[in-house]
């Protein structure tokens, strides 16, 4: 790749960033778009109706200053500890990027340009220079200047370790202070026990009672056996939706609704509140009836059959922690304990599954994950074919005339590869989330963490290793077979892909992040659904997709350590 191709990619990404920021600045001020851009305030019942004025149609950068002026205490009070840790992760990455950038520009770049192993830098026609002349590949073999790169790696690694230590201490202190300042939560006194052995002589509940009273007589309090009560869960979900609708109707006293239909569905606001209130009372009676049936019928009815899992409560948090850490049975497939999730964090489908079924589901997920990772090599190979014009002309001779146009060549080699790879990577987070949901976890937070790890390793393999090997090693397979030369060839081939990673960071770090601020997909979906939704229809504020954003930031940190040895 030449410098002009890189500048073309940077120019396109900069223009798209400005365009997305402008659209966001205008659209966020329109009341019809509040559900897209400020959903949390609406979900809390805030009334944000404002009169129309021309300022709403003019882009304004004041929101940028407000976002930067937000202190950590304000962020913690508004969004909680998770959001604060996520922002600290971003600021940590910015510190590393700044430190590495200073070393790369003022130390490594002059060293690389000083060499002439590949070619000398053409100052007159700077845009026509190959980016390889700015890499370590241009430093002469055996030159003492190579020690500058080694020392730079140690400096960046040392600075990163110091920052990691500082961030770890800071976040740990925040978590401890948050723990002591918050009230004791029920899940802190509770453990989840599953794979409880069944017996014909006694029920699951009796087994749990006798087992924990014998092992923990001084700390055991009580237990609740989990039952398969799908109908009760359905009724509770309906009650939750009705409660939200009533809250939204009461939250905005200025909103008026006309009498249009009967049954309270499209009537006045008071009629709707009364109608929803009556339905809520009916659901409450049905829930109580189903619960009484479950307690009376128990094992005799498959609909309310006890699952082989239970929540066990203790008198102290220490008692719960001791019961979790000590293995309760000599058989590792029975009486499996783990910390109980928070009530709103519970994921119910795998509570009644046995140890073997959960183990088989994990094995299936691993196989599917490997197959998906292998299949994803197809877009990686396509991307690397675009970065190598000579190989592309050999495979597709009819493109020779098109590739002779300079601007087209700059687009294909500088912007299109990273764009194709970025669009292909969009499918990875939802796929990894789905795989994690069928892996046997019993809480949404565990699913989120598992999906984050899968996305991170998937990105590292397909964007980093597969890109380097498919673009440099597989293309020179005859050299790889000579094991005496493999180390030297890898040292030459890996820096050759650094230019691609620069354009990848520009596309992902600039355009992708700014497009998320613009909220393209939610905005389009809102426009489509707007004619078919009622003004008071319930909605929930979307949460941050950690399994999508955290792996991307961590991967940028990996690229910094790679590029510090090769490029600026």
Please state the pTM of the whole predicted model.
0.71
Listed ranges 82-86, 268-272, 496-500, 543-547; the one with the highest mean pLDDT: 82-86
Please report the pLDDT score of residue 540 as a whole number.
Answer: 62
- Mean pLDDT is lowest, of 180-194, 291-305, 528-542, for 291-305
Residue 359 has pLDDT above 70, yes or no: yes
Sign of CA dihedral 362, 367, 371, 374: positive
Please report the pLDDT score of residue 534 as a whole number.
Answer: 60
Encoded tokens for 75? 């962020």
**Which residue would you say has higher pLDDT here, 549 or 263?**
549
Please report the pLDDT score of residue 480 as a whole number.
Answer: 47
The position carrying tokens 């410098």 is: 3
Residue 300 has pLDDT above 50, yes or no: no
Q: What is the mean pLDDT of residues 479-503?
A: 61
Please report the pLDDT score of residue 278 as a whole number.
Answer: 80
Q: 472 pLDDT band (50/70/90 cuts)?
A: very low
pLDDT tens readout for residues 66-80? 777 888 888 888 778
For the sheet with 190-194, list strands across it: 220-227, 306-314, 190-194, 336-339
Q: What is the mean pLDDT of residues 113-126?
A: 68
**Which residue would you say has higher pLDDT here, 163 or 244?**
163
pLDDT tens readout for residues 378-411? 777 666 666 555 555 555 666 666 666 666 666 6
Q: How many CA atoms lie within 13 Å of 25's alpha carbon, on the beta-carbon side?
A: 18
Tell me the pLDDT of the chain averaged across its residues. 76
Residue 377 has pLDDT above 80, yes or no: no
Q: What is the mean pLDDT of residues 9-14?
A: 79
Q: 167 pLDDT band (50/70/90 cuts)?
A: very high
Other CB atoms within 10 Å distance of the CB of residue 379: 18
Sign of CA dihedral 268, 269, 274, 278: positive
Residue 413 has pLDDT above 80, yes or no: no
pLDDT tens readout for residues 255-274? 444 444 444 444 555 667 77
Q: What is the mean pLDDT of residues 467-475?
A: 53
Beta bridge partners of 311: 192, 224
pLDDT tens readout for residues 518-543? 888 788 888 887 776 665 555 566 67
Percent of the chain with pLDDT over 70: 67
Please report the pLDDT score of residue 391 as a whole number.
Answer: 57
Please report the pLDDT score of residue 401 as a whole number.
Answer: 66
Please report the pLDDT score of residue 398 as a whole number.
Answer: 62
Residue by residue, DSSP assigns 161-221 as: HHHHHHHHHHHHHHHHHHHHHSPPPGGGGEEEEESPPP-SSS-HHHHHHHHHHHH-TTTEE
pLDDT tens readout for residues 18-73? 888 888 888 888 877 777 877 777 666 665 666 666 777 788 877 777 777 888 88
């Amino acid at each position: 790749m030449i410098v002009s191709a890189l500048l073309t990619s940077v120019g396109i990404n900069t223009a798209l960033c400005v365009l997305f920021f402008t659209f966001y600045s205008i659209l966020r001020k329109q009341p019809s778009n509040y559900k897209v851009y400020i959903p949390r305030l609406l979900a809390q019942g805030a009334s944000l109706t404002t009169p129309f004025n021309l300022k709403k149609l003019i882009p304004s950068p004041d929101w940028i200053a407000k976002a930067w002026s937000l202190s950590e205490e304000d962020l913690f009070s508004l969004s909680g500890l998770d959001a604060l840790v996520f922002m600290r992760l971003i600021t940590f990455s910015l510190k590393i990027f700044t430190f590495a950038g200073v070393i790369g520009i003022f130390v490594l770049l002059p060293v690389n340009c000083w060499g002439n192993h590949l070619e000398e830098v053409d100052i007159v026609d700077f845009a026509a220079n190959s980016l390889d002349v700015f890499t370590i590949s241009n430093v002469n073999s055996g030159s003492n200047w190579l020690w500058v790169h080694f020392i730079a790696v140690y400096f960046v690694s040392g600075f990163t370790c110091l920052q990691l230590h500082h961030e770890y201490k800071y976040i740990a202190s925040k978590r401890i202070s948050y723990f002591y300042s918050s009230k004791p939560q029920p899940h802190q006194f509770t453990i989840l026990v599953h794979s409880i052995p069944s017996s014909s002589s006694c029920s699951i509940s009796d087994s749990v009672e006798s087992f924990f009273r014998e092992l923990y007589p001084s700390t055991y309090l009580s237990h609740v056996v989990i039952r398969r009560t799908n109908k009760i869960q359905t009724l509770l979900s309906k009650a939750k939706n009705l409660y939200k609708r009533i809250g939204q109707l009461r939250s905005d006293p200025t909103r008026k609704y006309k009498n249009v239909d009967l049954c309270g569905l499209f009537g006045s606001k008071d009629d709707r509140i009364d109608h929803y209130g009556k339905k809520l009372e009916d659901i409450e009676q049905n829930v109580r009836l189903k619960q009484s049936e479950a307690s009376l019928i128990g094992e005799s009815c498959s609909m309310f059959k006890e699952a082989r899992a239970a929540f066990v409560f203790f008198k102290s948090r220490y008692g719960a922690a001791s019961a979790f850490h000590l293995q309760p049975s000599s058989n590792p497939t029975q009486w499996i304990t783990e910390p109980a999730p928070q009530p709103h964090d519970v994921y119910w489908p795998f509570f009644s599954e046995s140890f073997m079924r959960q183990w088989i589901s994990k094995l299936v997920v691993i196989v599917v994950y490997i197959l998906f990772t292998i299949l994803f090599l197809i877009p990686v190979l396509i991307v690397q074919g675009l970065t190598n014009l000579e190989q592309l002309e050999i495979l597709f001779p009819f493109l020779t005339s098109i590739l002779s146009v300079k601007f087209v060549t700059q687009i294909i080699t500088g912007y299109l590869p990273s764009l194709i790879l970025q669009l292909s990577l969009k499918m990875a987070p939802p796929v990894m989330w789905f795989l994690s949901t069928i892996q046997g976890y019993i809480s949404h937070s565990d699913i989120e963490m598992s999906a984050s790890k899968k996305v991170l390793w998937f990105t590292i393999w397909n964007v980093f290793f597969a890109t380097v090997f498919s673009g440099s090693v597989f293309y020179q397979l005859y050299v790889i077979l000579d094991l005496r030369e493999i180390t030297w060839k890898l040292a030459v081939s890996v820096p050759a892909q650094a230019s691609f990673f620069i354009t990848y960071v520009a596309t992902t770090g600039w355009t992708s992040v700014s497009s998320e601020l613009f909220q393209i997909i939610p905005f389009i979906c809102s426009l489509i659904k707007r004619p078919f939704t009622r003004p008071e229809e319930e909605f929930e504020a979307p949460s941050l997709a950690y399994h999508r954003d955290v792996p991307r930031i961590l991967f940028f940190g990996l690229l910094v350590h790679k590029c510090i040895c090769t490029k600026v």
